[in-house]
Amino acid sequence: MKRKDLNQLLQSIKNGLFLEDIDKRNNLLNLLEGSRFEKINETTGSLVISTLSEFSRNVLNSSEFKLEVNKVANTVLNTNLDVIFVLKEQWEKRNINETTEELKTMTDMGDYLKTDFTLDNFIASIKGENNMVKQAALSVSLKPGDWTPFFIYGGSGLGKTHLLHGIGNKIKDTYSKYKIRYLESKDFKDLVYDGDISTKKIKDINELFLGYDVLLVDDIQMLQTLPKAKEVFFNILSNFINEKKQIVITSDQYPEEMKDFEERFITRFKGGVLLSVTPPDVKTAKMILLQKLEKKDQTGGIKFNNSALDFIATNFGSNVRELEGALNKIIFWSITNNKIKEEYTVEDMMDVFEGMTTGRGLTLQYIVAVISKNYQISIADILGKSRKAEIILPRHLSIYFSRTLLGTSLMNIGRYFSRDHSTIMSSIKKIEKESSINQELNKVIYDLRKKIISK
């Protein structure tokens, strides 16, 4: 059947809809806005209609509205088939010879977890803060509900979404009967503001999410200027906490940086486990890069010598997306310049990235300068022998960042700070231990790191 004929059929179905409740009829027409009649499949016994939004698809497949559309469609077409609503984006990517099972998959609400994001393949430095957040994620996954909410904050491209999916996949493997839902905040916003924000709809949204045992919410900062969405989410958040269900939330900002969230939100966000994801140090950036190089389809078998890896990790290792961008540029450069080689050197990297401003270029001197300015003490004091309390912490932090951001050896750090190996190690361990239990220090580290890497 031609596309024109299918669209006329859908319009005929819309015209034939009759509900005594005018509001319900209008809501149904709103849900069908932008929908298309895709296919009549007598083999699977289905009439396939695509929708523009995930919310419309879910509501149409799981409500009384489907019965009404089914009834009218079969009357108009003189058939006895079942209407199935699919997401337009998924339909366009389907196998052209779709089976009943594939149609079922397209209409299934599901958990929206990405199976390739696991806690096992989340790379964190062995002694860095991201190892702490990874271990916390594992603990939350093994005993969901014991630590709720779990709030993860940090800049874009540092792995927050990876951790969310990793937690969901781990819980799914461990507790097969748990109902889990990954949710992007922009989708929650669309859900709340999709035409109807009546009291009944708000109640339905609350009931929908309270049916889950685990809720994974990405980019909560996107809701902070939306009063109704905030109100609905606060009720869901409070219920999850009160019922000891697991809710995990990510944000690109520390809770108190989100000025449009009222104090009641901030209190809730900070009431469970609050940890940051941080930019990888050079060594960790190399590990992430090597992991990506193992994916043959992505890299075409490209190899780098150690110096080239160091160059990429040092200059483009501020976050995972930056690393991916650098890798894609290298692949594109290799193809367009016909310079595909068995192994790339640091000289090749200089050619690829000629004239580009690098993301790091950090030095020990620069790190100490940033910290001395932040605490309004002299560089000489940080490098000196003073044991005053107001100098010890900046000194420890300078040593800590020299290790975690630069991957500099303990010997070289000791040489710069005129201290022995054991003293340097002690400073790093003090910061690691204290930041694991002191949220105030964790926030200080988060803020300082942003200042340092914004170079």
Task: Tell me the CATH number of domain 129-276, given options 3.40.50.300, 3.40.50.880, 3.90.650.10, 3.30.460.80.
Answer: 3.40.50.300
The segment(s) of the chain belonging to CATH 3.40.50.300 are 129-276
For the cut 80, the answer to whether the pLDDT of residue 342 exceeds it is no
**Are 367 and 402 spatial neighbours (Cβ–Cβ below 8 Å)?**
yes
Backbone angles phi, psi at 397, to 5 degrees: -65, -40
Instruction: Mention every residue, 6+ apart, whose C-beta is less than 8 A from residue 10.
Output: 32, 35, 36, 37, 49
Task: Give the pair of three-digit tokens for residue 171.
Answer: 């819980």
Task: Give the pair of three-digit tokens for residue 446.
Answer: 């988060």
**Are 398 and 382 spatial neighbours (Cβ–Cβ below 8 Å)?**
yes
pLDDT, average across residues 320-330? 81
Tokens 């988060």 correspond to 446
Q: pLDDT tens digits, residue range 138-158?
A: 999 999 999 899 999 988 888
pTM over 0.85: no
Separate counts of helices (H) and strands (E) for the chain:
23, 8
Tell me what the pLDDT averaged over the chain comes to: 80
Q: What does the alpha-carbon distance between residue 453 and residue 316 come to, in Å, rounded to a whole number?
A: 11
Q: pLDDT tens digits, residue range 237-292?
A: 999 999 999 999 999 888 888 888 999 999 999 888 898 888 777 777 888 888 87
The segment(s) of the chain belonging to CATH 3.30.300.180 are 3-107
Fold of 282-352: Helicase, Ruva Protein; domain 3 (1.10.8)
Q: pLDDT tens digits, residue range 157-199?
A: 888 999 999 999 999 999 988 989 998 888 888 778 765 667 7
**Are 181 and 212 spatial neighbours (Cβ–Cβ below 8 Å)?**
yes
Pick 133 or 357 by higher pLDDT. Answer: 133
Least confident residue range of 48-57, 299-308, 346-355, 395-404:
299-308
Q: What does the alpha-carbon distance between residue 323 and residue 311 come to, in Å, rounded to a whole number?
A: 11
- Give the torsion sign (CA, 441, 443, 447, 452): positive
For the cut 70, the answer to whether the pLDDT of residue 357 exceeds it is no
Q: What does the alpha-carbon distance between residue 351 and residue 194 come to, in Å, rounded to a whole number?
A: 50
85 vs 51, 240, 275, 354, 383, CA distance in Å?
7, 30, 40, 51, 67
447 closest CA partner among 345, 342, 375, 340: 375
Q: What homologous superfamily is domain 364-453 in, according to CATH? A: DnaA protein, C-terminal DNA-binding domain (1.10.1750.10)
For the cut 80, the answer to whether the pLDDT of residue 387 exceeds it is yes
The segment(s) of the chain belonging to CATH 1.10.8 are 282-352
**Are 111 and 52 spatial neighbours (Cβ–Cβ below 8 Å)?**
no
Q: What does the alpha-carbon distance between residue 158 and residue 141 come to, in Å, rounded to a whole number?
A: 20
**Are 233 and 202 spatial neighbours (Cβ–Cβ below 8 Å)?**
no
306 three-state secondary structure = helix
Task: Give the pair of three-digit tokens for residue 66.
Answer: 């489907």
| Structural Rg of the chain based on CA atoms | 27
Q: How confident is the model at residue 44 (pLDDT cuts 50, 70, 90)?
A: low
What is the maximum span of the chain, computed from C-alpha positions, in angstroms? 91
Q: What does the alpha-carbon distance between residue 131 and residue 277 come to, in Å, rounded to a whole number?
A: 9
Task: Give the pair of three-digit tokens for residue 19.
Answer: 């509900």
Q: What does the alpha-carbon distance between residue 91 and residue 38 come to, in Å, rounded to a whole number?
A: 9
**Are 289 and 302 spatial neighbours (Cβ–Cβ below 8 Å)?**
no
Task: Give the pair of three-digit tokens for residue 330.
Answer: 């290298």
pLDDT, average across residues 439-454? 80
Q: What does the alpha-carbon distance between residue 397 and residue 445 come to, in Å, rounded to a whole number?
A: 8
The segment(s) of the chain belonging to CATH 1.10.1750.10 are 364-453
Q: What does the alpha-carbon distance between residue 426 and residue 437 come to, in Å, rounded to a whole number?
A: 17
**Are 313 and 282 spatial neighbours (Cβ–Cβ below 8 Å)?**
yes
Pick 361 or 364 by higher pLDDT. Answer: 364
Q: What homologous superfamily is domain 3-107 in, according to CATH? A: DnaA, N-terminal domain (3.30.300.180)
Percent of the chain whose predicted confidence (pLDDT) is above 90 = 24
The angle, 0 to 180 degrees and rounded to 10, between the axes of the packed helices 22-31 and 64-77 is: 80
**Are 359 and 316 spatial neighbours (Cβ–Cβ below 8 Å)?**
yes
**Are 86 and 110 spatial neighbours (Cβ–Cβ below 8 Å)?**
no
Q: What does the alpha-carbon distance between residue 338 and residue 348 come to, in Å, rounded to a whole number?
A: 13
For the cut 50, the answer to whether the pLDDT of residue 105 exceeds it is no
Task: Give the pair of three-digit tokens for residue 394.
Answer: 């900046």
